[in-house]
Chain A
Amino acid sequence: MDLFIEQLMNGLAIGAIYALITSGLSLIYGILRILHVAHAGIYTIGAYVGLGVYSMTGNLLFAILASMAVCSILGILVERIVYSPLLKFPPYVPLIASIALLLGIEEVMRLIAGPQIHGFPVSLPLATIRVGNISLSSALVMVYIVSIVIFFVLWIITSKTDLGLAMRAVSQDMSIASAMGINSRQIVSLTFAIGSSIAAIAGILVGIYFNQVYPTMGAVPAYKTLALIVVGGLGSVPGAILASLLLGIAETLLIGYANIPFPRDALAFVAMILVLMIRPEGLLGNIKKKI
Chain B
Amino acid sequence: MSLLEVENLHIAYKEIEAVKGVSFFVSEGELVSIIGANGAGKTTILNAIMGLVPSQKGSIKYKGKDITNLPPHERAHMGIRIVPEKARLFPQLTVWENLMTGIYGIKKQISLEERLKWIYGLFPILKERETQPAVTLSGGEQQQVAIARALISDPDLVLVDEISMGLMPLLVDKVFEVLKELNEQHGKTILLVEQNALASLKISTRAYVLETGEITFSGTAEEVINDPRIHEAYLGG
* Chain A residues in the interface with B (C-beta under 8 A): 162, 165-166, 168-169, 172-173, 175-185, 286, 288-291
Contact = CB atoms under 8 A, between A and B. Distances in A.
B41 interface: no
Nearest to B88: A176
A26 B11 CA distance: 36
A289 B91 contact: yes
Interface stretch (B29-37, B55-63, B69-77, B206-214): B69-77
A181 B134 contact: no
27 contacts: A165-B97, A166-B101, A166-B104, A168-B90, A168-B97, A169-B104, A173-B88, A175-B52, A177-B90, A178-B52, A178-B76, A179-B50, A179-B73, A179-B84, A180-B101, A180-B102, A180-B104, A181-B76, A181-B102, A182-B73, A183-B105, A286-B92, A288-B92, A289-B135, A291-B86, A291-B89, A291-B142
The secondary structure that dominates the A interface is: helix
A181 B92 contact: no
B91 A172 contact: yes
A177 B89 CA distance: 10
Nearest to B107: A162
B16 interface: no
Contacts of A181: 73, 76-77, 101-106, 153
Contacts of B105: 181-183
B82 interface: yes
A168 B101 CA distance: 10
B26 interface: no
Given A176-B88, A176-B90, A182 B104 contact: yes
B101 A182 contact: yes
B42 interface: no
A169 B72 CA distance: 15
B92 A175 contact: no
Contacts of B82: 179
